[in-house]
Amino acid sequence: MNRDIPLLETFLDALWLEQGASDHTLAAYRRDLEAWATHLETVGGTLLSPETAALPAWFEERRAAGYQLASNARLLSSLRRFYRWALAEGLIAGDPLSEVRLPRVRPALPDTLDEDEVERLLAAPDVTTDLGLRDRAMLEVLYGCGLRVSELVGLTTDAVNLRQGVVRVRGKGDKDRLVPLGEEAVHWLTRYLRTARRALMHDAARPPMFPGRGDACLTRQAFWHRIKAHARTAGIQRPLSPHTLRHAFATHLLNHGANLRVVQLLLGHSDLSTTQIYTHVAQARLEALHSVHHPRG
């Protein structure tokens, strides 16, 4: 076993205790730092005593092996986080990465859908069936609230207040936020709760809002499989990602004049810079419309 593993575990424990990092986030940090520790071991270094040139050389090896610039940038972010912690804990005298720089990575525009495509996708489930009604309610909530798929499938019945038209969402870092549901989402949730949910569950008193097998919450993978099937029904050809409707939610709000800070709160982003990517999406959409419809486009 690499001798730096106990140190990694201490760092990950601190990340979880101090910031409530999710299992997914912790797994990403573990993967990045274990890879770095393994590389250092091959060149005679350790996490707390890396050679100054070790990281640039390793990044060049990764680039030659086909890793994209964005992958190295994400890796560097993980390592910076670790060394900031090590410096604060007095484990090192200075940050070994302070002089390391990578070319600026231009953020990729997220996949999204036009409003007409969203309407077709929402209308795709067969609401005469219990599963179809469940899927329609899920799609309406996903798009109407801009949730992450993990947030959607993890919803419980006590998190939804149909009378007030809000849903309490537990996001990254176990942070809660209240998000308006909107009239359509309230309508389809009400209809789903009156009939389909009871039919789909063996014990309707259990908390999952959207059950899968055995009255447990529907998994992200199962729901994503359902979305792709409905997209085919709707005749949507463009590639979709698990975040497509969340991206559409944010982009369409901005297209209709919403304030960026409001969109940030609705999405549950801790940093406004994360939300700003959607201004680029909205701008790209406006430019496309201009080129198509303006006489001098």
Q: What is the pLDDT of residues 82-107, one digit of tens each?
A: 999 999 999 988 888 777 776 565 55
In the residue annotation, 261 being an active-site residue is answered as no
Residue closest to 79 by CA, chosen among 42, 54, 47: 47
pLDDT score of 265 more than 90: no
Strands (E), the chain: 160-161, 166-170, 176-180
Q: What is the mean pLDDT of residues 123-150?
A: 94
Four-way CATH pick for 115-293: 3.90.1580.10, 1.10.10.10, 1.10.443.10, 3.20.20.70? 1.10.443.10
pLDDT score of 256 more than 50: yes
Q: What is the mean pLDDT of residues 139-161?
A: 92
- What CA–CA distance (Å, rounded) separates 184 from 162? 11
Q: What is the mean pLDDT of residues 145-172?
A: 90
Residue closest to 181 by CA, chosen among 279, 266, 276: 266
pLDDT at residue 190, as a whole number: 96
pLDDT at residue 174, as a whole number: 72
The string of pLDDT tens digits covering residues 175-185 is 788 888 989 99
- Residue tagged active-site, from 134, 136, 148, 226: 148
Handedness of CA 18, 24, 28, 31 (dihedral sign): positive
pLDDT at residue 259, as a whole number: 76
- Residue tagged active-site, from 134, 136, 230, 246: 246
Whole-number percent of the chain with pLDDT over 90: 35
In the residue annotation, 269 being an active-site residue is answered as yes
- Residue tagged active-site, from 39, 172, 187, 206: 172
pLDDT at residue 244, as a whole number: 86
In the residue annotation, 228 being an active-site residue is answered as no
Altogether, the residues listed in the chain come to a count of: 297
In the residue annotation, 285 being an active-site residue is answered as no
- Residue tagged active-site, from 134, 247, 252, 269: 269
- Residue tagged active-site, from 230, 243, 247, 252: 243
pLDDT score of 214 more than 70: yes
pLDDT score of 294 more than 70: no
In the residue annotation, 63 being an active-site residue is answered as no
pLDDT at residue 163, as a whole number: 92
pLDDT score of 258 more than 50: yes
- Residue tagged active-site, from 29, 83, 192, 278: 278
At 89, phi and psi to the nearest 5?
Answer: -85, -5
Domain 5-88: state its class. Answer: mainly alpha
Boundaries of every domain in the chain: 5-88, 115-293
pLDDT at residue 102, as a whole number: 63
Least confident of 49-53, 55-59, 227-231: 49-53
In the residue annotation, 225 being an active-site residue is answered as no
pLDDT at residue 289, as a whole number: 46
